[in-house]
Structure formats: structure tokens, C-alpha cells
Homo-oligomer: A and B are copies of this chain.
């Protein structure tokens, strides 16, 4: 192996091959669920260097774990504990290569932090409409490798739908230059979308051309309380038909989510009284503040008349709007303060959500009386972070013994309604077992065939996404 490291140093320079010392920043994932051990961390400075590194690793049969901001939630970007896997960090490929305002596109390197890309777009008076909690440290390459979602999917789609072109280093160490800024291109198979969401197992994304949007003239934010989840589904339909594409956010939170925020962060002001459900609505208006406010007020007063909502508060300043989003984003932290919880990132047809929540809440209560449910998420996309919190004062170790049982109840209920066990976080290593159980064997066979075709020696992020075939 020292021969490989020596050759890698020749390619990227001594300072960019880290072996020995504290590598935990690259070896341990964000949630600290996986603590791996890397052969080394290599930090190439250009696409050509990435390709060269891949060729050397392929020659030596050394597996590569590509890594961006290392903010993933499913163990996809940290090495296993064999000490044989090389972490290939894209962090030094962090340039905004170009921005084409007339074409509404920007080309960004994989290691560029999402927030920096957002800022570059804003500097040009435009909007990069990908936004998620980790945006201060996650990178565009990781966003695309995992097809990240976030809070604006309702209007602008996942990372996949915001990407027009890619530059990718293949398993053979070739560079595919697919950096097109075209809205339409029907010349052959859709390699772009195959790479997006493949979590580094089919190729290493080194740069991307992303769609930009005109910046809305005004963004309006409101909270509304509702008696039932049914009412939230009806409010969503009403908001879609009256605001049209202006509706850019629609988040739901159950009573316990906000109660937990109230308990753990008592200084955060909650503008509305406790209610079974609360919705956070965001509207982006192309015309301006007064038009946007009038449209949002009209929507909410219709919803009041119809009995869909009980109470409402519209933010009258950017600070108030940020405070509303802050409530939503504090749920995860409040959960962590409260003790252990079992997280899910599921999606369902919107029409099935009410029934799913009612029957799964009940099934969990039967199985684990007193269990507490933190139901919140992106209702507009059918995506719930349906999290299960330990009972008040329960021993953490005791509680986590129920993880498999809880997952089975939740995922069986998801599967019965044609839902997904990973809406936006991906598979990584965390959900390999679920892939085996839940995914159609025909789909798995096609995925394995594609993996073998594009990475025949299995050098790219092995052991992620695809479970090994069952041994007879």
C-alpha cells in the first residue's frame, strides 16, 4: 500500500494525501453512527487529478469512498473499518466555474458548499433553489450524489430536477464531460440522472451545471393551525390551486413536535396556540409584496371560512418569517435534547398520508404504550420525517432495543401504501437491509447489472446502495 500512497502523493502532492494522525473528520459521519478507518484521505485539486487517483486505485484494487461535506445521514460517505478504503475528498474542487444569467445556469465544482453556490447565484440577482438544513457545510457534489431534497422541492424539485449537466470521473478513470446547460437534449440514454442519486457507486461527480431561477419579487410566510391532518391535505390542494406555482413551501408539524420545541427552547416565541396540527406556508410572488400578501390573505380567509384552519399568523417582516422557519428547523434539535429517537424519512402518495399516520400512530401506541410521535415534514411532497421518540424518562438503551420492531411497523405501513422508505436521504449503509426486503427483485437485478457494467471491478463506494445478492 505504501507504493499506492507514494504514487498518489506524486499526483496530488504530499500535503493532500493524509494518512495517520486524526482523520476522524473524514472517518466519522455527521450523526456519529459510523466510525470507520481510512487507508488515507486524498484531496485532488482538479478533475484530471481525480481521474488519475481513480486510475491508480483501480490498478491497485483499492476501493474509493467519495466524500463531499460529509453531512449524509445514511453512512454513505465514510469508510468502513477495514482500513483498506481510500477517502477521496472533493473539497478542493470548490470553484464556481461560470454563471450564464441569460441561460439561467451556473456551473459549479462538486466540492463547492451549497451556501456558497446560493450566494454566487444571489450575487447575480438569481436564485439557486436548492435549500436544506445542512447548506452551510454540504456540497453540490454530495447533494447530487444523494439527490438531496429540502424545503423547496414542492416548487423546484429535488436536486435531480435542478441539474442540467454533469462532469463525472468513471470507474475506469475517464472523464465524461456532460456539462450541458441545455433544457432539452434527447441524444441517448440519461446518464445524468443515473449518476444523480447513485451515491458515488457509478461514478464520481466532479462538477455540475445547475438551473437558476429568477428571484421572486417577494416571499411571504405564514403559520396556520388545523384541527386534523385531513384539513392540512385539503389546505394543500386549495393553496396549490389558488397560489399556483407561487406555493414554494408547505410543511406540517404535529402538536408534539411543537410541544417539544416549546419545552426545550422556551424562549422561541410560538405565534399561535397549541393545536393538533400546524402548517408553515411559503409563497414566492413574482409581482411583489402587496400582491403576494393579498393572495395569501385571500387563501387563508377562504380556508378559515371552510373550517380548514383555526387560526393563522402571517409574518410581517423577514425576521418574523425566519423565526417561523426556525421553529420548524428546531424540531430535530429539540428531539436530540429530549433523548433518543428513531428517525424515518418516508414518502407516500399525499392521498395516503392521513390514513398512514392515523393507523401507524395507533399501531405504535399498541406496541409501545406511551411512545411519543414527532410527525413533521414536507407534506407538499408527501415526505414525512416520521420520528419515534422514547417515552418520557425512558432508558435510552432500553428504548433503542425496539428499533427493529418500530422500523418494521413503520415500513410495513409504508409499503402497504406504495410508499418509499427513503424519500430524500438515500440508502448508504443504513438502509441496505430495507433494500433487500422492500425493493422489487426485478429492479434490484437491473441495478446490479448496471453497477457491474459501469464499475466492473467494484472500486467505487462498494457496499453502499446495493445489498449483496442473497447467497443460496
Identify the A interface with B (CB < 8 A): 100-105, 146-147, 149, 153, 155, 157-158, 160-161, 170, 174-191, 193-194, 196-198, 202, 214-216, 233, 237, 240-246, 284-287, 295, 347-352, 378, 381-383, 418-427, 431, 434-435, 438-440, 442-447, 449-454, 465-466
Q: Is the CB of B286 within 8 A of A187?
A: no
20 new A-B contacts, CB < 8 A, other than A194-B194, A244-B245, A452-B453, are: A105-B349, A149-B184, A176-B440, A176-B442, A177-B440, A177-B442, A182-B348, A182-B382, A182-B418, A183-B382, A187-B422, A188-B197, A188-B444, A188-B466, A190-B194, A190-B198, A191-B446, A214-B244, A243-B286, A449-B453
Complex formed: what's the CA distance from A157 to B190 in Å?
Answer: 15
Given the complex, which residues of B lie within 8 Å of A284, measured CB to CB? Answer: 244
| With contact pairs A440-B176, A454-B446 given, residues A189 and B198 touching in the complex (Cβ less than 8 Å) | yes
Q: Is the CB of A420 within 8 A of B189?
A: no
Given the complex, which residues of B lie within 8 Å of A348, measured CB to CB? Answer: 182
Complex formed: what's the CA distance from A160 to B196 in Å?
Answer: 15
| With contact pairs A442-B176, A443-B176 given, residues A102 and B351 touching in the complex (Cβ less than 8 Å) | yes
Q: Is the CB of B146 within 8 A of A186?
A: yes
| Shortest beta-carbon distance from A248 to chain B in Å | 10
Copies of this chain per assembly: 2
Q: Is the CB of A381 within 8 A of B187?
A: no
Partner of A246, one of B149, B245, B419: B245
Given the complex, which residues of B lie within 8 Å of A381, measured CB to CB? Answer: 183-184
